[in-house]
Chains A and B, each alone.
Chain A
Amino acid sequence: MKVAIASTGNSLESAIDAHFGRCSYFVIVDTETKAVEFIRNPNKEAEEGTGTASVHLMASLSVRKIISGGFGMKIKPLLDSQTIQMIILPDPGKKIKEILELLTH
């Protein structure tokens, strides 16, 4: 199963991002193969519709869960209709490395 994490940077030492739509990088984790991939968010600088565009990106990567510090207002119905689970982690200092350990331990 693929899990996406909103990240502020492209290393395992980076912290989780508080905004799903405007995060710098998406970390795509495959929980079976333990493969980790960093994808630059192409919608980061867009004026609006960043959340919607990011949801479509996640759906095209067949992600089943998204972990972020927070989500925008329009995201929940979109993700619900794609049956993607949202996980909110309100801990701004949490590093990607620590989240990976939680996921795969």
Chain B
Amino acid sequence: MSPRVKTFRKVQNPPPVKGFKPYGPDSGKRNSKPVILLFEEYEALRLCDYNRYKHQQASVMMEVSRPTFTRIYASALEKIARAFVEGRQISIEGGKVYYDSEWYRCTGCHCYFNHRGEGKEVSNCPLCSGLDVVPYNQTINAG
């Protein structure tokens, strides 16, 4: 029997860096193999410990079940602890994720476009550079 397929986890934004390196005279001499932290684990840690959401709320944001979220979070902590104790690099990569983006409509040239949040508000249309941009909340019947 083949294992169950993992569902896609929703990640708001990619992490600002690709990973972390230990420093000091002995760093990099032993255990040079990095610990791979998955994007979904980074996101779980960000929602839970940086933004202080409860597991229940965070699981809804990542579109996974609460027990799955807790497993992802536990795996993240375990990997970070291993990297700290063994003095390994942390590389943030991989995982079954997709990034979130919102749809907008430009009233100038009548186009629809998506824009990723990243904390910035969308200011002008990517096609005609017009400023008449409104959020588009209905489902788009994409061809």
Contacts and interface: CB of A to CB of B under 8 A. Distances in A.
Interface string B35-65: 0000000000000000000000000000000
B99 A83 contact: yes
B110 A102 contact: no
A86 B111 CA distance: 10
Interface string A64-77: 01010111110111
B93 interface: no
A90 interface: yes
A87 B111 contact: yes
A77 B114 CA distance: 12
Contact of A91 (B99, B110, B142): B110
B82 to A, nearest CB: 27
Interface in B52-100: 97-100
Interface in A49-105: 65, 67, 69-73, 75-78, 80-81, 83, 85-91, 99, 102-103, 105
Interface string B1-28: 0000000100000100000000000000
A91 B112 CA distance: 11
Interface in B108-123: 109-116
Contacts, number: 65
Interface in A9-26: 18-19
Interface residues of B, number: 22
Nearest to B110: A91
Contacts of B111: 67, 87-90
A88 B14 CA distance: 24
B127 A89 contact: yes
Contacts of B99: 80-81, 83
B127 A81 contact: no
A86 B127 CA distance: 11
Given A76-B114, A88-B113, A18 B143 contact: yes
B114 A86 contact: yes
B17 to A, nearest CB: 16
Contacts of A105: 128-129
Interface of B: 8, 14, 97-101, 109-116, 126-129, 140, 142-143
Given A80-B98, A87-B126, 7 more contacts: A65-B126, A73-B142, A85-B126, A87-B111, A87-B127, A88-B113, A88-B140
